[in-house]
A and B are shown apart, each in its own frame.
Chain A
């Protein structure tokens, strides 16, 4: 009985990687083929019947193309570097402090804020007619009408970088928190402290070198997202010219269908820019390692302590405050009647906006919930299967395999999703729930993997060996030993998966032919109508589901493991 059980389990587990590859590679490659063919002039339905480089020539001649490329590249790298620096300095300066505990509590609501909602909130906070200016007007600033300064939308993309950083800090923090126990951070830090190192220095010299490899993939995902995202750039980025990704979306949506050729070439270029940004980051990593290695052992106990803790604390709280104030602004807008400048508090407050939205809100919430649960459960099972198969085979996946997993995160969605719709039409797959679930999985699965992989791999193999020594097969060892030990990271990974699924716009719209109405599709189509009050209502509703998911992810292990406190750290 035990033997049969074992072989079924092993066979199922060995199936998981193949299934995962199929699920991730097939759509992206087919979608990219759909983009690559028109990029080289091939799209018979629009009269493109021979291969040519004309789309690339017209792309190169597009006014402002150099600025677009530079903007995508720099905002992607700078925002990631800033976010990472903030997280590292904060962890170094405040580990174990009261501030640390507080931020941990704030983390789940902060993570749950959808990117577009954060961007809308931030734009309202910092714009000349925004909440910040209203608070000082007219008393301090003297303005009775909004001043005319260019922010957000500044040509250097500073507002865009700020918007990306406030969303990336919570994500990287979450990733670091789940990785810290895996590299014995506390032991390392305590040892360094006992040797007289100041806290930030202790963290930088003793913990970071072993922490960074664990959060490297999440950092890469952040770079890819930051250099190719559309919604944040559309709201906070400059418009003359915008980033390349925004232009790709505009060109793909241009009524002049012959623009599709150039748009496809631009989509492939976007892929190139993202890869270039990743390559640059890799070079930076090498350079820093080369410069820093001698310093790690130079014995100095106080390098950068004062500055580090000041910056780490200050910038972390600044980004948390910005995000919090953005949410407060959204909440006020959802309750506002006409709210003119310079009043900083809307009067009268009204529930009319919520009342207008309510009839549509409930069905959209249910659709969103089922989609997110289905996609997350499927993705989590496959990810656990892949990782378990690694464990059974005693070897971890190579660089090529890692690339496969992150393919959907590295390739800009606009590039392959239209090609994917083509494939869907070709195979006569009716648009609907299952197709959209699979489409969501493309983006959910890599993030679940990202969140879970390191914890899973770092799990001490001796636990399994002990279980085997006690006569348990791999299935029993998995169910009774590994799964409970990994409950907290699995719950966190699922919560990340739910948040990712809830935020999906293009896959839901394109693969479902718009027939599935989710909170995000409603929010985006309402946002296109410019009604900030209704948009705020939907953005807040959009935030509730993932926030619930994160609360469960943190609460559930606490309840189940209340007798095993060491498992919670």
Chain B
């Protein structure tokens, strides 16, 4: 009798010779799976039903909402949303907590490769920017569905192009707006009297306060956003950033950015030889007192962090002169979601004045509303006007000064060039 563990065991042998077979199977299934999407021929798809019918279909469904789970405030808010959806629509909302949205993208991709066209494990994803562009390009999304949501009109999409463009990419109804973000700087007012209000001033400031500022490691989203903000300030013609990078002389356009960073890095935290891993890690360094100046992408984040002891009460927020990069974050539905009606009802509820007002409360989350106040009645407007006076919070009028995101291809070009220049020292 051969030993069961011998490497000539039939199972092991089949596994090894099975390699090309497996690859072939993947290919065959993918080719079959790339045919017409299921919903196109399907009259019962919630995309083709009246809204009342969609709500009816949604009853009793379990909606798996894949959303970043790193912020206990956001998690708490989604608990509340789950309770309301259960009560109003008999929907069981499950928050699948991710440490990175890429995990959800990978899963949908794997399911598509495997030819799973209608039994996806994910019903709704919190998303924007590059992840959305990648999913849309690879036909991994259901839609267009946003226009079908009754509450979508409350965002006045015709008057507010940012509700239908995501990093300059038209959303075309493949995602529904949820909240707003804007690059917001914050500083410790006990240590800093006059924070820098422009990129040029920031360089001078770091020279006077060496080691007290840094940005997260590129390609972390926060680090890349800082680079884009610098690029907007330094490039000769900011209008060129709205077009794909291929149409411009990228080398020349980015040259001032590299000059700037070459001058900046020696004065950064750890002399620019190490970078914090993420935006939250940057905030931890502020809390530890290692930094005196930092930035966040949620304008309410510094104030919320003061409330739960992560930052000192002396924190103050501001935006640069002329404004900073802002964008909208969205929810989207994978092409193969198992519970499409439930996902649409959830997306619609997230856009309701009540849900948006609660989300904006500093003690809940503090994420700015995407609704157009002019579309709402007086009581709803009241609810959406911030009442709390936390001194660390960004003044509401500062949010008006928003600069658009560059085309996503710029982000990729800047990230690649940054890693080339500074990624290994």
8 Å CB interface, A2-41 against B: 14, 17-18, 21-22, 25-26, 29-30, 33-34, 36-37
Q: How many residues of A contact B (CB 8 A)?
A: 97
A367 at the interface (CB under 8 A from B): no
Q: Are A153 and B280 in contact, with the CB atoms below 8 A?
A: no
Q: Tell me, rounded to whole Å, the shortest Cβ–Cβ distance linking B383 to chain A.
A: 25
Q: Are B103 and A401 in contact, with the CB atoms below 8 A?
A: no
A325 CA to B75 CA in the complex, in Å?
A: 31
* Residues A29 and B113 in contact in the complex (CB < 8 Å), given A150-B273, A254-B219, A256-B130: no
B residues with CB within 8 A of A: 1, 3-9, 11-12, 15-16, 18-19, 22-23, 25-27, 29-31, 33-34, 64, 66, 68-72, 75, 94, 96-100, 102-103, 105-107, 109-116, 119, 121-122, 129-131, 133-134, 138, 191, 210-211, 217, 219, 269-271, 273-275, 277-285, 287-290, 308-313, 412, 419-420, 422-425
Q: Are A530 and B269 in contact, with the CB atoms below 8 A?
A: no
Q: Are A21 and B4 in contact, with the CB atoms below 8 A?
A: yes
A sample of 16 cross-chain residue pairs with beta-carbon separation below 8 angstroms, ordered by A number, consists of A17-B4, A25-B15, A29-B12, A30-B22, A36-B19, A37-B19, A45-B113, A146-B289, A150-B273, A240-B422, A418-B106, A421-B107, A426-B113, A513-B96, A528-B278, A530-B282
3 shortest A-B CB distances, which residue pairs? A401-B5, A530-B280, A64-B424
Residues of B within 8 A of A128 (CB): 290
Q: Tell me, rounded to whole Å, the shortest Cβ–Cβ distance linking B150 to chain A.
A: 29
Q: Are A526 and B3 in contact, with the CB atoms below 8 A?
A: no
Q: Are B5 and A42 in contact, with the CB atoms below 8 A?
A: no
* Residues A29 and B309 in contact in the complex (CB < 8 Å), given A63-B419, A422-B110, A521-B97: no
Q: Are A37 and B22 in contact, with the CB atoms below 8 A?
A: yes
Q: Are B6 and A153 in contact, with the CB atoms below 8 A?
A: no
A100 CA to B82 CA in the complex, in Å?
A: 53
Among the listed stretches A160-168, A276-284, A337-345, which one makes contact with chain B, having 4 or more residues with CB under 8 Å of it?
A: A337-345
A397 at the interface (CB under 8 A from B): yes
- Which of A17, A146, A338, A352 contacts B5 (CB under 8 A)? A17
Q: Tell me, rounded to whole Å, the shortest Cβ–Cβ distance linking A115 to chain B.
A: 16
Residues of A within 8 A of B312 (CB): 338, 340
Residue of chain A at shortest CB distance from B99: A528
- Which of A67, A252, A405, A531 contacts B102 (CB under 8 A)? A252
- Which of B121, B279, B422 contacts A431 (CB under 8 A)? B121
* Residues A529 and B113 in contact in the complex (CB < 8 Å), given A44-B30, A338-B312: no
List 13 other contacts, CB 8 Å, given A426-B116, A514-B96, A526-B72. A21-B4, A22-B11, A148-B270, A240-B422, A255-B130, A256-B130, A339-B287, A401-B3, A403-B7, A404-B9, A418-B106, A514-B66, A526-B69
A residues with CB within 8 A of B: 14, 17-18, 21-22, 25-26, 29-30, 33-34, 36-37, 42-46, 49, 63-64, 67-68, 127-129, 145-146, 148-150, 153, 155, 234, 238-241, 250, 252-257, 336-341, 350, 352, 356, 360, 386, 389, 393, 395, 397-405, 418, 421-426, 428, 430-431, 509-510, 513-515, 517, 521-522, 524-534
A372 CA to B138 CA in the complex, in Å?
A: 38
- Which of B29, B102, B281 contacts A426 (CB under 8 A)? B29
Q: Are B23 and A338 in contact, with the CB atoms below 8 A?
A: no
- Which of B31, B105, B281, B285 contacts A257 (CB under 8 A)? B105
Q: Are B68 and A528 in contact, with the CB atoms below 8 A?
A: yes
* Residues A400 and B5 in contact in the complex (CB < 8 Å), given A21-B12, A252-B102, A526-B70: yes
A46 CA to B8 CA in the complex, in Å?
A: 35
Q: Are B3 and A397 in contact, with the CB atoms below 8 A?
A: yes
Residues of A within 8 A of B138 (CB): 45-46, 257
Q: Are A241 and B423 in contact, with the CB atoms below 8 A?
A: yes
A423 CA to B105 CA in the complex, in Å?
A: 16
Q: Are B1 and A397 in contact, with the CB atoms below 8 A?
A: no
A421 CA to B270 CA in the complex, in Å?
A: 40
- Which of B18, B27, B116, B287 contacts A425 (CB under 8 A)? B116
Residues of A within 8 A of B3 (CB): 17, 393, 395, 397-398, 401
Residues of B within 8 A of A64 (CB): 423-424
- Which of A68, A153, A514 contacts B274 (CB under 8 A)? A153
Q: Are B107 and A240 in contact, with the CB atoms below 8 A?
A: no
Which of B100, B420, B424 neighbours the largest number of chain A CB atoms within 10 Å of its CB? B424
Q: Are B16 and A29 in contact, with the CB atoms below 8 A?
A: yes
- Which of A14, A239, A423, A528 contacts B100 (CB under 8 A)? A528
A257 CA to B106 CA in the complex, in Å?
A: 9
Residues of A within 8 A of B277 (CB): 234, 239
A315 CA to B318 CA in the complex, in Å?
A: 49
Q: Tell me, rounded to whole Å, the shortest Cβ–Cβ distance linking A395 to chain B.
A: 7
Q: Are A514 and B273 in contact, with the CB atoms below 8 A?
A: no
Q: Are A336 and B30 in contact, with the CB atoms below 8 A?
A: no
Q: Are A513 and B99 in contact, with the CB atoms below 8 A?
A: no
Q: Tell me, rounded to whole Å, the shortest Cβ–Cβ distance linking A382 to chain B.
A: 12
* Residues A44 and B31 in contact in the complex (CB < 8 Å), given A398-B5, A400-B6, A425-B116: yes
Q: Are A528 and B113 in contact, with the CB atoms below 8 A?
A: no
Residues of B within 8 A of A530 (CB): 70, 278-284, 310
Residues of A within 8 A of B119 (CB): 428
* Residues A341 and B289 in contact in the complex (CB < 8 Å), given A239-B277, A395-B3, A530-B280: yes
Q: Are A422 and B64 in contact, with the CB atoms below 8 A?
A: no
Q: Are A338 and B310 in contact, with the CB atoms below 8 A?
A: yes
Q: Are A531 and B308 in contact, with the CB atoms below 8 A?
A: yes
Residue of chain B at shortest CB distance from A32: B19
Q: Are A510 and B12 in contact, with the CB atoms below 8 A?
A: no
Q: Tell me, rounded to whole Å, the shortest Cβ–Cβ distance linking B74 to chain A.
A: 8
Residues of B within 8 A of A395 (CB): 3
Q: Are B72 and A44 in contact, with the CB atoms below 8 A?
A: no
Q: Are B27 and A42 in contact, with the CB atoms below 8 A?
A: yes
Q: Are A426 and B115 in contact, with the CB atoms below 8 A?
A: yes
* Residues A25 and B116 in contact in the complex (CB < 8 Å), given A145-B289, A336-B309, A531-B280: no
Which of A21, A352, A389 neighbours the largest number of chain B CB atoms within 10 Å of its CB? A21
Q: Are A425 and B105 in contact, with the CB atoms below 8 A?
A: no
Q: Are B102 and A513 in contact, with the CB atoms below 8 A?
A: no
* Residues A400 and B113 in contact in the complex (CB < 8 Å), given A255-B105, A257-B105, A526-B70: no
